[in-house]
Amino acid sequence: MQTIHLMEYHLGGASQGGAASESATPSPQLPDAGKPRVSKFDYDPTTRKVTVQASVQQAGEVKTPLGDEQTFEIPAEATFTGIVHKYNVKNATGRTTLKFTAGSGDAPVVNGASVPLSIVLNAGEEGVVYSPVGKFELNTPLQNGELVAVYNSNSNVRRIFFFADKVTLSRTTEGYLLVERSVISKD
C-alpha cells in the first residue's frame, strides 16, 4: 500500500502553501427566506384544538416551503350550564324570627351537596340559602336571584334587606355560575 501526502497539491479550498483553516473560502451566503407566515389555520370548537401550518414566501434552496402541521390544545373552561345564587344571610333584627326563602321547587345540588332553598333564623343568627338553578338559554331573560324573608309561615310581611357591595363569582362542580353575596335583614 502506498501513502500519498496531499500537502503539496492545491485542491481549491485554501490558498496554496497555507493551512485550510487560515484562509478558507467563505461559505456561500444563502438568500433570506423571509419571515414565516401562517398558511393554514383550523380551529375545532368541540375539541378546542388549533391546527396551524407555516410557510415562507421565498423558500430559496428549500424544496418544500410549507412546514409541518402542528396541533395545539387551547385550555378553556367549559361553558356554564346554569346559574345559582348563594346568599349568606344574617337576621340582624332585635327579636324577630325570620324565614328566608330564595325560591321554590326541588333543592339544588351545588358542588355535590343538596343545599336549602329556605332557612329559619332567630334574631342575631346567620345562615346560607340558595336559589333554584336557572338555565342559560338563548333569547330568554336570565333568572335573577330572589330572596324573601317573612315573620312566620302565616304572614306575608316582607323585611328590609341590605345587600353587600361585593359579589363573588365562582364555578360549581356541576358547571353552574355561582353568584355569592352577603345579605343583612334589619327592622
Give the model confidence (pLDDT) of 59-117 as tens digits. 666 566 677 788 888 877 778 888 899 999 988 877 778 888 888 888 899 999 999 99
pLDDT digits 0-9 by tens, 40-58: 889 888 888 888 888 877 6
pLDDT at residue 129, as a whole number: 93
Q: Are residues 46 and 123 in the same domain?
A: no
Question: Does some domain include residue 62?
Answer: yes
Total number of domains in the chain: 2
Q: What is the mean pLDDT of the chain?
A: 77
17-46: average pLDDT: 71
Q: For residue 33, what is its C-alpha cell?
A: 427566506
Domain that residue 47 falls in: 37-73
Q: Are residues 52 and 137 in the same domain?
A: no
Q: Are residues 60 and 135 in the same domain?
A: no
What span, in angstroms and rounded, lies between the C-alpha atoms of 28 and 76? 48
Q: Are residues 107 and 175 in the same domain?
A: yes
| 122 contact partners, CB below 8 Å, separation of at least 6 | 91, 97
Nearest to 133 by CA among 102, 108, 101: 108
CATH code of the domain in which 120 resides: 2.60.270
Please give the C-alpha separations between residue 187 and each of 93, 100, 102, 152, 182, in angstroms, as whole numbers. Answer: 5, 15, 20, 15, 17
